[in-house]
Amino acid sequence: MSQRIAVPGTATVPHPAPAPAAEGEGDAGGLWIAGAGGVGREALDTALAAGVAVAGFLDDHLAGGRVRDLPVLPPQRVPRGARYLVGIADPAVRQRLVRLLEERGARPATLVHPRAVVAPETELAEGCIVLGGAYVSSSVRLGPHTQVHYNATVGHDAVLGERVTVYPGGNVSGSVRLEDGATVGSNAVVLQGRTVGRGAFVGAAAVVTRDVPPGATVVGSPARPMPGRGGR
Which of the 8 DSSP states describes residue 152?
Answer: -
- Cis before 20 (ω within 30): no
Of 191, 195, 183, nearest in space to 208 by CA:
191
β-bridge pairing 70-73 and 66-67: antiparallel
DSSP 12-25: -SPPPPPPPPPTTT
Q: Which of 177, 170, 175, 123 is nearest to 151 (CA)?
A: 170
- From the candidates 15, 145, 149, 156, give the one annotated as an active-site residue: 156
CA angle 155, 157, 158 (to 5 degrees): 65
CA distance 25 to 64: 9
CA-CA distances (angstroms) from residue 60 to 47, 69, 93, 115, 176?
22, 17, 12, 31, 36
156 is catalytic: yes
Q: Using CA atoms, how far apart are residues 105 and 57, in angstroms rounded to an integer?
A: 16
Indicate which residues carry an active-site annotation.
156
